[in-house]
Amino acid sequence: MKPHPFILRCAVGVMAGALAAMAGAAGTGHDYPTVSRVEYVVDCMRDAPKASREYLYKCSCVIDQIAQRLSYDEFVNESTVANALTIGGERGEVMRDLRGGRQVARQFHGVENEARKACFMPPRG
């Protein structure tokens, strides 16, 4: 028995759609845990000049842009060093004394500021 032409066209359409979806998903960047994305967005919104839905979208855009550039492990390592350099006292001194720590922080801030620019946000000071 020969398959009906309509069924063949539907099957081809479904397969083409599935392939397009898989290709689109492959280009979305690295997979970060949802909680990490939410923490970044909450911190970003806290630092925004005003709390608004606009900054929810902008801050979400920034973490998505960062995920395009850095693997999750790179993000954790680089953002941890960058944030720890701002800790005062002895605890922060450990990170400030870390060989290459300032370079890692500059690298992360560069990626973050490029992401902010792409999302119509000013660079971090």
82 and 108 fall within a common domain: yes
User: Above pLDDT 70, what percent of the chain?
Assistant: 78
Residue 123 has pLDDT above 50, yes or no: yes
pLDDT in tens, 77-106: 999 999 998 898 887 788 778 888 889 999
Question: How high is the pLDDT of residue 108?
Answer: 97
Structure confidence at residue 51 as a pLDDT band (50, 70, 90) = confident
Residue 15 has pLDDT above 60, yes or no: no
Provide the number of structural domains found in the chain.
Answer: 2
Give the residue numbers spanning the domain of 77.
Answer: 32-118
pTM score:
0.74
6 and 50 fall within a common domain: no
**48 domain-assigned:** yes
CB 78 within 8 A of CB 108: yes
Average pLDDT, the chain: 83
49 and 81 fall within a common domain: yes
